[in-house]
Structure 1
Amino acid sequence: MRTMKIVHQEKSSALADGVDQSGGPGRILLGVFETLDRAEIPYCVLHGYERYPQRITSDVDCMISASVHPEQLAALFHENRGISIDADLVCFREYYFVFAGRNADRSPSYLVLDLSIDYELGGLRFYTGREVIEGRRRHSCFWTPAPPVEFGGYLARKIAKVQLTDAQGRRLSALYAQDPAGCQRQAARFWGARNTALIVSAASSGDWTPVRRCLSRLGAEMRLRAMLRQPWRSIGNWSLRMGRRIRSGFWPEGGLTVIFLGTDGAGKSSVIKSVRQDLAGAFARTTCRYFAPGLLSLLRRPAGPILPHAALPRSRMTSVIRACYWLVYYLLWYRLMIHFALARSTLVLHDRHFVDALVDSKRYRYVGPAWLLRLIWRFTPKPDLVILLDAPPGVVHARKQDVSFEETARQREAYLSLIDTMKDAHVVDAAQPLEHVVSDVNDIILRHLTMRMARRLGLEHNMVYRAQPGGAFTTEKSL
């Protein structure tokens, strides 16, 4: 197999005019293309590139040479972070890559690169990667398919989705005008003479209304012809997809669990809300979890918000029984719930978690033995990250007076002591303005994703993080 060239040098002048030089997905994308070109890895952007790199609104779909494995590409992208690529690789699954960079205002920006080695829809192959790449042409700073191949692939994709808008029809007609004979051959590849004539008429006239009326019929014929060409491949692709789903269910890789700790008034809810929005681009989905629900919480209407320590404590016996319920909940149901969330590449953020009971058992009306809580914590699935939002008691108490100043100070010291015993725990200054706190938390999570990716690739020894003003971090190549 050909060895890839990993080039470490200053960024070239290949960045197109009009791209924001301070960041953004367009700048990341051009860096990725530059890296692939310098490594002499052939690729081809399949569609939707007309406004690249100035405007990227969805995943970037590309064809890539089958001779390059996903791990090789991931290592290449990781090695070129901060060199030709202004972003870190934070996630990859097979040929699916997620990059995270920074905009000028320090907010995260993302690029999702969806690579494939064949042009497939629904497990059916319509073009081989060789067909697409061999006929590619240069378009500005990157490579695109030949007009007939792009016409055939784009039309097949729209019909498979049973969706063909006016703008998409205009794009198809523009491609047809560049090579009518070639586009006719591509249509005849997927449909019989009657439907081919229908499509050719629509492409040449620009009126796609007759095609829209029979999208389902066209899709059925297209899939049948593709399946008959390679029946065993269709079965094999289905088996591979099922195998990947089963594997991800047993060995989740893309998700992340983060527990936020802090006294009342530290700003956990506000920070979590902003972090969910900022980091949504790095994950398939996000969710927020709280403390274990009560046994009867689903059977009765909540009484409404009350002060944390206003309710009377339970008896010692009731506290022990409730602790046993917490043990079962976190040992079984919570473990299963988190496992499947991670398998679906979910960012799981905890506003309240069982670990809070170790510091503030009075909030949960618990008066049982402290060793029982520590025992439950020992068996509770551990998070990937723990983030303590810390601020002086005076600052916190000025924001919220649900508990006394003395209790706020006690909880703060208890949280700081607890953090010292935890793995992958971080303290963030919550006395800063909210946007600075959110930025610091985003940096911690994205840095963790990058380090996890480096460990997966066996490249963690190359990771060096340099602190920036305001608590941010950038990654560099160690020398």
Structure 2
Amino acid sequence: MIHPRIAEVFRTLDAHGVVWALLRGAEELDRPRGDVDLLVAPSDGARIDEVLASAGLSRVRAPGRGSHQFYFSYDELQDVWLKVDVVCRVELGPHQELRLPVVDGCLARRRLADGIWRLHPADEGWLLLLHLLLDKTAIPSERRDGARAWAGLLRTDDPIARTLQDFTGDSAPRRVLEVFSVALPDRDGLVRSELRSAWRRRDPVGVAHRQGASSLARRAPSLAGMPRVAPVVAILGPDGSGKSTVAQSLLDALPVPARTVYMGLWQPRPWDRVARAVPGARLGQVVLRLARAAATIQSHRLRGRLVVVDRFAYDTLLPGSTGSFGERVTTALTMRWTPAPDRVLLLDAPGEVMYARKGEHSPEKLEEWRQAYLAMVADLPVPVTVLDATRSVEEVRRAAVTAVWDTVAGRAAASRDQRPSSAPRAPRARPLGSWRRIDWRFLLPSPELDKVLCGGRHDPDLRAALEMVGAQVMDTRGEGGAEADVAVLVRPGRSDLEQAAAGVRPGGWVVAEVRAGPRAARGGQWGLPGWRRAFLAAGLVDVTAYWHAPNLVACSRILPLDVRPVVREALLRYHEERFGLLKSLAGRAALRLGLFGYLVPEGTVVGRRSQVTVS
């Protein structure tokens, strides 16, 4: 009986005309406990990746292992990893430094038995004994009985034995057989040392070169052709959904190097009480945590390790953020410093289930967070897998492993696809903030966007967000702009505003993203009031300035500056954060003096082109 996926591998190899043979382990093919070892003709080695990929296996690179190429597939139903180890050379020793030129002869003598290409019994037996003796530091006790049976069947004049004599001396085959047939203490260590020494005398340069190259490749994988960065998997969910449990289970289950990084930046720590007593110390503490976490993620990625992140930057963009100064800083830095994940796992469970697990917060609050997470991931520009966290830990683990392995396998396939530099690249993932930045469309009579002009500073994230809602995006400097419904400007200059006002149809709208500060004051305008005046000077009507609180990327409220009671109510909410009273008092004072619009960090100015043409 053969596992169906292993049988598919064998059929695929035959269908592609690959010359191969099973090295050992035919009795365990129904549920392999270890590797399925295959010997492949060197002429077929270059295309084996593509052939096995068509059978559903993905390669995991392991530098410094000679000609060994490892391929994996995960069977979720049986919860078993299927691993195929392909070699096109017979290389022995801990660093595959002892090469034995027997591949062509072994494949020429192979036999077909029950649909499986098997080595000649003598070849299979000798390669097994040499593998146990030279590849291992000690012969496993559970393998000795089977090896002893093989030793009783083999002869010193078998083809592989004669080749071994050429490399290590006439007595080598006999001494190898004695190791397994006669139980003498320390015999295997002595024979192992003698064979390795003889091999080095026979091929000193080749052995030294292969051993050195293997050691270097294992210590520096990037020098051996490993991908420069490994995937990142983010695990999201409210407290009690099981994020830490799933993260640890992934580390234990995956066959690739993996590490976990915790990004709960605002979680309590022993020194928090001291930090709160010093102005700015708490924020500095959180920024240091963020820098350390981001550096750790990048370090693991560059070393070829898959990174499982417990919590992620997307947590800072959940609806209901208070928009404090500290949160604005950490949100901006987090989105800039941390790489976009290749896969997001959202653990979903009802609020009462999560409350029963940890007893934190309340079932109603946890259910509110649950719905917020579900709404957020629906708009994420990266692959998302929602896992039913009400199932058993084992079932959730299997589903998570399947989702992550699909991501790893996709990365492996992409690394094999070496496109020329002129080939189009896949679009990069866009941060969630790019979607939130077009919330101004809800300020228009209709949020549906058809033809949209983009002007000012080039912003690919904004353009991608517009395309995600089905808008046809054009440039203000292009042709055919007079039919556009909306023009949106990013940090515009005066000429950008004039082009946008002329580019929209009569009755169309112009939206400008405005940021405070001298660096943002292009075209002589300063803040939202300055751009409001510029809109009026350009002939636009129904001009209104809005404060996006706390900012354009993590916007939770859009407040019209002309409606002072709404702004005043928003300023009162600052009482809940550190130094909030001072911020609230300063903001309300500026509001009474008519200066608040100049202090707003980020917002939009919206105006409509008049439908009346003045001649």
TM-score normalised over the length of structure 2? 0.56
* SS of alignment partner, residue 369 of structure 1: helix
* SS of alignment partner, residue 238 of structure 2: coil
| CA deviations over 1:258-291 (Å, ceiling 9, x no partner) | 22111112232343454445x43xx234443323
Q: CA 1:45–1:412 in 2, change beyond 3 Å: closer, same or farther?
A: same
Deviates more, 1:287-296 or 1:167-176: 287-296
* SS of alignment partner, residue 54 of structure 1: coil
**Correspondences of 1:400-479 after superposition (within 5 Å):** 400-405=358-363, 407-416=365-374, 418-420=376-378, 422-430=380-388, 432-434=390-392, 436-458=395-417
CA contact (8 A) 2:168 2:199 kept: no
Q: CA 1:262–1:407 in 2, change beyond 3 Å: closer, same or farther?
A: same
1:348 aligned residue: 307
**Deviation (angstroms), 1:357:** 5.1
* SS of alignment partner, residue 46 of structure 1: strand
Check if 1:227 corresponds to 2:200.
Answer: yes
2:183 aligned residue: 209
Check if 1:32 corresponds to 2:9.
Answer: yes
**Deviation (angstroms), 1:325:** 1.0
CA contact (8 A) 1:290 1:351 kept: yes
1:379 aligned residue: 337
2:448 aligned residue: none
1:330 aligned residue: 293
CA contact (8 A) 2:238 2:370 kept: yes
In 2, Cα distance between equivalents of 1:415 and 1:200: 64
Q: CA 1:77–1:386 in 2, change beyond 3 Å: closer, same or farther?
A: same
In 1, Cα distance between equivalents of 2:366 and 2:407: 30
**Correspondences of 1:282-361 after superposition (within 5 Å):** 283-291=255-263, 317-340=280-303, 343=304, 346-353=305-312, 355-356=314-315, 359=318
Aligned residue among 57, 69, 82 for 2:45 = 69
What amino acid is the match of 1:428?
V
* SS of alignment partner, residue 101 of structure 2: strand
Check if 1:145 corresponds to 2:83.
Answer: no
Q: CA 1:323–1:288 in 2, change beyond 3 Å: closer, same or farther?
A: closer
Check if 1:51 corresponds to 2:24.
Answer: no
| CA deviations over 1:348-404 (Å, ceiling 9, x no partner) | 333344554555999xx9964322112221212333222222334454345443113
CA contact (8 A) 2:259 2:307 kept: yes
CA contact (8 A) 1:266 1:396 kept: yes
1:154 aligned residue: 128
| CA deviations over 1:290-312 (Å, ceiling 9, x no partner) | 23789997xxxx79xxxxx9999
1:175 aligned residue: 150
Check if 1:120 corresponds to 2:94.
Answer: no
What amino acid is the match of 2:82?
L
What amino acid is the match of 1:442?
V
**Deviation (angstroms), 1:198:** 4.1
Q: CA 1:30–1:182 in 2, change beyond 3 Å: closer, same or farther?
A: farther
CA contact (8 A) 2:242 2:347 kept: yes
In 1, Cα distance between equivalents of 2:178 and 2:212: 39
Higher relative contact order (CA 8 A, sep 6+): 1
Q: CA 1:385–1:458 in 2, change beyond 3 Å: closer, same or farther?
A: same
CA contact (8 A) 1:275 1:441 kept: yes
Structure 2 unaligned regions, length at least 5 = 420-615
| CA deviations over 1:215-256 (Å, ceiling 9, x no partner) | 233222212222333333324424543564434368547954
Q: CA 1:313–1:429 in 2, change beyond 3 Å: closer, same or farther?
A: farther
1:265 aligned residue: 240
In 2, Cα distance between equivalents of 1:368 and 1:437: 38
In 1, Cα distance between equivalents of 2:345 and 2:115: 41
What amino acid is the match of 2:332?
L
**Deviation (angstroms), 1:76:** 1.5
TM-score normalised over the length of structure 1? 0.70
Q: CA 1:437–1:169 in 2, change beyond 3 Å: closer, same or farther?
A: closer
Q: CA 1:216–1:366 in 2, change beyond 3 Å: closer, same or farther?
A: farther
In 2, Cα distance between equivalents of 1:196 and 1:443: 46
In 2, Cα distance between equivalents of 1:198 and 1:239: 28
Deviates more, 1:26-35 or 1:89-98: 89-98
CA contact (8 A) 1:289 1:351 kept: yes
Q: CA 1:401–1:425 in 2, change beyond 3 Å: closer, same or farther?
A: farther
Q: CA 1:251–1:190 in 2, change beyond 3 Å: closer, same or farther?
A: closer
Q: CA 1:179–1:152 in 2, change beyond 3 Å: closer, same or farther?
A: closer
Structure 1 unaligned regions, length at least 5 = 1-17, 20-25, 82-87, 304-308, 461-479
CA contact (8 A) 2:300 2:306 kept: no
Aligned residue among 44, 55, 58 for 1:89 = 58
**Deviation (angstroms), 1:324:** 2.9
2:104 aligned residue: 130
**Correspondences of 1:237-252 after superposition (within 5 Å):** 237-238=210-211, 240-241=213-214, 244-245=217-218, 246-248=220-222, 251-252=226-227
**Correspondences of 1:270-285 after superposition (within 5 Å):** 270-277=245-252, 279-280=253-254, 283-285=255-257
RMSD: 4.1
In 2, Cα distance between equivalents of 1:116 and 1:176: 24
CA contact (8 A) 1:107 1:439 kept: no
CA contact (8 A) 1:289 1:348 kept: yes
What amino acid is the match of 1:78?
A
In 2, Cα distance between equivalents of 1:292 and 1:432: 23
Q: CA 1:173–1:427 in 2, change beyond 3 Å: closer, same or farther?
A: closer
Equivalent pairs: percent with the same residue? Answer: 20
CA contact (8 A) 1:393 1:409 kept: yes
In 2, Cα distance between equivalents of 1:200 and 1:404: 70
CA contact (8 A) 1:259 1:349 kept: yes
| CA deviations over 1:162-186 (Å, ceiling 9, x no partner) | 4235664444444344452434636
In 1, Cα distance between equivalents of 2:138 and 2:115: 30
